Structure 1
Amino acid sequence: MTHNTPLSPRPVRRLPEVRRRVMPTAQLRAHGISTAELNERCRPGGAWRQLLPGIVLLHPGPPTSEERLHAALLYAARESAAGMPGVPSQPSADEPHRPVYKEAMITGLAALALYGFASAPPLTSLDRIDVLVPRLRRLRTTGCVRILRTPALPTPRQVTGLPVAPVARALADAVAELTEGSAVRRLLTEAVRAGHCEPAAVVRELTQAKLLSRPHVVDAVDSLVAEGRAMAEDRLYRMVREYGLPDPVWNVDLRLPGGPHLGGLDAYWPDQAVAVELDTRAPRQDDDVLWSEYARKREHLERLGITVVHITPRKLRHSPEQQAAVVRTALMASNDREPAAYVLVLPR
């Protein structure tokens, strides 16, 4: 294959050949390519193409998705002590073809496509690739690259050999550009149903991005929270069944006889006075108020002799056996406690 051979688009996999098809101009000069020769090869109809400022595509055909992603990261990773365009951090001698994309990662819809989201557009249809960089980097949006800045870069994940923003952050960056509620709802719902992340992580990123003032985002978040709770309840049912816990009464309200309402519970074992409450709060601006309500309810129930076990959806998903052991321990310890106060158990 020569530099003049056009490449047809293909699915994104690991990046073996692409690193030799896209290079910064500074790296080409380091390989002995003069400025005059570079300009000649990049002229209209030439063997190469100037894909982005300082980034050259070493063939005349249209760039593949791999090449666009690689070029976007190379563009964003350019650096020099003087703040002028330079070259990305170079790999070690033992790995001469491994680029280091310093302080840059793919985010937004391109990141979701890399994660395999069915509701995200394919990479080939995206006009822009979002790249997340530190706030103080001197970069501008250009060509197929949209630069997004953040005060603190998250830890990237490696997907197809590329640094990609965590799913929750990529979702927030994608949602910031979307105006259709249905599109936002599909992305958020898929993130939870496919197990990419928990609803709380998504809402936290949307809150930090100040996106919860947009009505279509708020509507999508409400659907997301409901979806997350339904999935958590299903996991709780499975945990009780699969780990041999005695059957509780499900989804009940407790009330003192002739007295006040004590609160709702997801599962309750009346004989042992043990309750399970799913903590499916979505972190928003009123999170402290919600947590205070949780804490007050728990303290009130425990003063009445009722043991309350709080379980998060994340724990149910990743360590159901451990959560079942916590509940089992609470049930067994009931014999060593003083009898609980009599309460009415009502369907919720």
Structure 2
Amino acid sequence: MYLSKTPLTDSYLRQHSRHGVIRVASLEKLGVTQSTAYRRCQPGGRWTHLLPGIVLLSKEQPTARQRVEASLMLTGGRGVVSGFEAARRYGLRQAGPHGTVHVLIPQQRKVRSVKFAIFERTIVMPDHRIVEGVPLATPARAVLDGVRRIRDLDPVRALLIETVEAGLCTVDELSAELESGSRRGTALPRAVLRELAAEVKSVPEAAALAIWKRAGLPPAERNVRILDASGNYVGKPDSWCDELALAWEIDSYAFHFGRDAYRKTLHRNNRYAAAGIVVVQTLPSRIRDEPDKVIAELRAAAEAAARRPRPAVSVVRTDRAA
């Protein structure tokens, strides 16, 4: 074993680590024996044991990047990060809670899941992208690997919709990825992808359609374009009742209230007002938590719209109705 003559300070050892994470075998080559390394990971020591044969040169709580580095080290550099951790690294805010690292490894690698690291063997390793030094499964594979482990519908909808709206992949690409892999845990993502293919654009829209029918209002349409009397574009409401010239917008914080989206929402509402359109705005959480109050608001807006002359607006419509 090579024993370094350089003082083995933690600062020196970090130079040979990845973000403070290092294999015990690498420490041995630098002159730190196994017994010393593991002793420093015991209570009162200054290091942390992360995964078998891998330590963190600190007693601080490991960061997401340090958990990723430890997981990849355990695969001998043959792993690709997938699931929620990959989704977060693509910038998706609707990914599941932090903590676990889902890593895809070749079928012949025999690495067992341990602690925060989930290892999944696959016959054909997926295409991957390097993002800030981390190999990530493609967005479609990553988000589907994540949602396959969810049993609640709304989080599945939220992540798949955000993935599509962020332009990371298309509904067709998600569907193709779903068909090419295991069928385990695919019932909910399949249902959501059917909704997306039918142009359901936000998490609560499926529930919103049911609420509209419960309200007993005239028929409404989805995803139609509204033009004012001069033929200028006004908006594309989530639901449109042409008989009453009534628009219903489901304005989610997640999908509508970013800085740019908030500005666009204000401009849209100003266009509705200028065109004489009655508009109801509803948060997604209220559709789930306060459906009766939402129904009352829709009925009140419909009564107000019926009392005023219908504005001179026109519709460029599809064949889809609520």
Q: TM-score, normalised by structure 2?
A: 0.55
Aligned twin of 1:119: 94
Separation (CA, whole Å) in 1 of partners of 2:103 and 2:165: 26
Is 1:48–1:58's contact at 8 Å kept on the other side of the alignment?
yes
Aligned: 1:189 with 2:161: yes
Aligned twin of 1:51: 50
Correspondence 1:32-71 to 2 at 5 A:
32-71=31-70
| 1:206, distance to aligned residue in structure 2 (A) | 1.3
Is 2:24–2:54's contact at 8 Å kept on the other side of the alignment?
yes
Aligned twin of 2:27: 28
The alignment covers a number of residue pairs equal to: 194
Separation (CA, whole Å) in 1 of partners of 2:84 and 2:197: 22
Tell me the C-alpha RMSD between the 2 structures: 2.7
Is 2:64–2:99's contact at 8 Å kept on the other side of the alignment?
no
| 1:175, distance to aligned residue in structure 2 (A) | 1.7
Aligned twin of 1:157: 129
Correspondence 1:119-268 to 2 at 5 A:
119-121=94-96, 125-211=97-183, 214-227=186-199
Separation (CA, whole Å) in 2 of partners of 1:39 and 1:186: 43
Aligned twin of 1:107: 82
Structure-2 change in CA distance of 1:17 and 1:179 (3 Å) = farther
What do the CA deviations read for 1:237-289 (whole angstroms, capped 9, x no partner)? 9xxxxxxxxxxxxxxxxxxxxxxxxxxxxxxxxxxxxxxxxxxxxxxxxxxxx
| 1:212, distance to aligned residue in structure 2 (A) | 8.3
Separation (CA, whole Å) in 2 of partners of 1:17 and 1:186: 40
Separation (CA, whole Å) in 2 of partners of 1:26 and 1:75: 12
What do the CA deviations read for 1:145-201 (whole angstroms, capped 9, x no partner)? 000111111121111211011011112211210111111111111111110012111
Structure-2 change in CA distance of 1:120 and 1:182 (3 Å) = same
Separation (CA, whole Å) in 2 of partners of 1:41 and 1:210: 42
What do the CA deviations read for 1:16-63 (whole angstroms, capped 9, x no partner)? 997151101111111111122223212221111111001110111211
Separation (CA, whole Å) in 1 of partners of 2:66 and 2:182: 33
Structure-2 change in CA distance of 1:65 and 1:212 (3 Å) = closer
Q: TM-score, normalised by structure 1?
A: 0.51
More off after superposition, 38-47 vs 211-220: 211-220
Structure-2 change in CA distance of 1:216 and 1:40 (3 Å) = closer
| 1:214, distance to aligned residue in structure 2 (A) | 4.8
Structure-2 change in CA distance of 1:213 and 1:149 (3 Å) = closer
Correspondence 1:313-324 to 2 at 5 A:
none
Structure-2 change in CA distance of 1:156 and 1:216 (3 Å) = closer
SS of residue in 1 equivalent to 2:75:
helix
Output the amino acid matched with 2:129: R
| Unpaired runs of at least 5, structure 1 | 5-15, 78-100, 230-236, 238-346
Separation (CA, whole Å) in 1 of partners of 2:25 and 2:16: 20
Is 2:107–2:123's contact at 8 Å kept on the other side of the alignment?
yes
| 1:210, distance to aligned residue in structure 2 (A) | 3.7
| 1:208, distance to aligned residue in structure 2 (A) | 2.3
Structure-2 change in CA distance of 1:146 and 1:214 (3 Å) = closer
Correspondence 1:68-87 to 2 at 5 A:
68-77=67-76
Aligned twin of 1:291: none
Is 2:56–2:62's contact at 8 Å kept on the other side of the alignment?
yes
Separation (CA, whole Å) in 2 of partners of 1:111 and 1:20: 18
What do the CA deviations read for 1:65-99 (whole angstroms, capped 9, x no partner)? 2211111111122xxxxxxxxxxxxxxxxxxxxxx
